[in-house]
Structure 1
């Protein structure tokens, strides 16, 4: 039996052993029983923890069970080992910080298209497809920690190195930073999906480390570009203001010209304008003189 529902798998095995011994009477039965007890004593128990799936491997015969083991206790006879793979999301970070997951520097190093050396902390989120867990073991023949440290890390690093070699440092540090890691993620996803390792996300776990002198040059260039953009904006604003004033002056001049032409061709417009502005009161004069609005009845 590959799986035991009871809390004590050994008790069940001993019960079956007792029933088997009754089929071998006399001394032969006792010998067979002692051999079986010896084998049972050397058999260990293994437990598949919640959130994981188990893969039974016979290290003697080299066989891998095609069926995944769910959560529970299992007998592991001599030469048998049960590997556990996570079916829930786990995250690992390759970082230069010795106080995190590893005491050694695990950060990624790569180069831009000009050969400038860069480095960065990179993280990955992943889980294993239970239906393909046996395929994953058959491919790499090791536990999850070793897959992370070896095949998974190498695949991510190679993808980053390949794409970074097509970009300049300013692009990697600037507008292509997100595109670089996303391209690496897509390649790694496609590589591991057929064997059951589901790569959910690959992302930068910090800033990309650039040599100090290069970083100062990048920052200076960015500052100059921003200043140039600001100056261009000021010029554009001033030009727009000047054009607006010119347009207004041209409009005013055109209006005056039109009005003058109208007055020249029709003198009555002057009287009409005066009437429009008149408040209804006749002006008072000291002395004699002509009264405005001649012709007003």
Structure 2
């Protein structure tokens, strides 16, 4: 076959065309991968945790506020670093459409209920530890681990108290004890529980509540009666003390007059206005002075 110069040149032309095709294919693939990627923004007041869902890795460093590329297979979770609150309540119009109030019992097995609230935030330096422990977002942590820990703490302490103590003298102590236990449990993993509080009255059976109120009323009446007795006793003691003081004063004065009769003249002089009587008899002594 005769040599045809044009064929060699045509081969290079084909090679150049194939090279351009591969270039465009590479660009298209890169664009497709980039297109499959999503952008995530860490909102103000939040801290981000980058998680590789394919390899199962968690980046130890927290992501500050800003935009980030989340490649396929990765996800950025956000945890609040500012104070947030949540209330588990029986109301259907608040944070949940279902009854989330806490149920617990006193030491005698009497069932009680209460709405409970919590305020919290996440330590940015330990946010990755929090995720590694629970592998979920903040809403799920609130609904699961946090709620369970608070409920268990309340149940444990309430089981040591009677209903009157829970409803009255130990109400604040019960929730304070639960707060300390929950704080100690979550602090090592970066969840800072600031406060746990009663979000309403503790609900007790109506019959029991009536008994408690009647007892309180009786105690108040007894205290009032005792106070009246103490007041009367104090008044009587004051009168007795005054009478004793007056008698003692009279006794002292009488003794002084007996031992020193001149005191009578002295008292008369102290009371004399300086005027002599209009009529004086003969050569009698001057009145009160006892002059001879």
TM-score between the two structures when normalised by the length of structure 1? 0.86
Q: Is 2:283 the partner of 1:295? A: no
Q: How does 1:195-210 map to 2 (within 5 A)?
A: 195-210=189-204
Aligned to 1:17: none
Deviations 1:178-205 (A, max 9, x none): 1111111111111111111111111111
Aligned to 1:131: 125
Counterpart CA distance in 1 for 2:264 and 2:197 is: 80
Aligned to 1:143: 137
Aligned to 1:64: 58
Counterpart CA distance in 1 for 2:114 and 2:103 is: 7
Counterpart CA distance in 2 for 1:290 and 1:167 is: 93
Deviations 1:59-115 (A, max 9, x none): 111111112112222222222111111111111111111000000000111111111
Q: Is 2:75 the partner of 1:94? A: no
Deviates more, 1:267-276 or 1:146-155: 267-276
Once the two structures are TM-superposed, the CA of residue 286 in structure 1 deviates from its matched residue by: 9.6
Once the two structures are TM-superposed, the CA of residue 278 in structure 1 deviates from its matched residue by: 1.4
Q: How does 1:112-123 map to 2 (within 5 A)?
A: 112-123=106-117
Deviations 1:220-270 (A, max 9, x none): 111111111111111111111111111111111111111112222222222
Aligned to 2:214: 220
Q: Which runs of 5+ in 1 are unaligned?
A: 1-23
Residue of 223, 229, 235 corresponding to 1:229: 223
Q: Is the radius of gyration larger for structure 1 or structure 2?
A: 2
Secondary structure in structure 1 of the residue aligned to 2:33: helix
Once the two structures are TM-superposed, the CA of residue 39 in structure 1 deviates from its matched residue by: 2.0
Residue of 185, 188, 192 corresponding to 1:191: 185
Are 2:117 and 2:196, in contact at CA under 8 Å, matched by a contact in 1?
yes
Secondary structure in structure 2 of the residue aligned to 1:245: helix
Deviates more, 1:246-255 or 1:31-40: 31-40
Q: Is 2:237 the partner of 1:249? A: no
Counterpart CA distance in 2 for 1:34 and 1:252 is: 116
Once the two structures are TM-superposed, the CA of residue 126 in structure 1 deviates from its matched residue by: 0.8
Deviates more, 1:279-288 or 1:247-256: 279-288
Counterpart CA distance in 2 for 1:225 and 1:100 is: 38
Are 2:51 and 2:75, in contact at CA under 8 Å, matched by a contact in 1?
yes
RMSD over aligned Cα atoms: 2.0
C-alpha spacing 1:231/1:289, structure 2 compared with 1 (3 Å): farther
Count of aligned pairs: 274
C-alpha spacing 1:289/1:156, structure 2 compared with 1 (3 Å): farther
Are 2:269 and 2:289, in contact at CA under 8 Å, matched by a contact in 1?
no
Secondary structure in structure 2 of the residue aligned to 1:261: helix
Q: Is 2:211 the partner of 1:181? A: no
Q: How does 1:27-38 map to 2 (within 5 A)?
A: 27-38=21-32
Q: Is 2:156 the partner of 1:157? A: no
Counterpart CA distance in 1 for 2:252 and 2:143 is: 85
Q: Which runs of 5+ in 2 are unaligned?
A: 1-17
Once the two structures are TM-superposed, the CA of residue 175 in structure 1 deviates from its matched residue by: 1.8
Once the two structures are TM-superposed, the CA of residue 25 in structure 1 deviates from its matched residue by: 4.5
Deviations 1:39-61 (A, max 9, x none): 22222222211111111111111
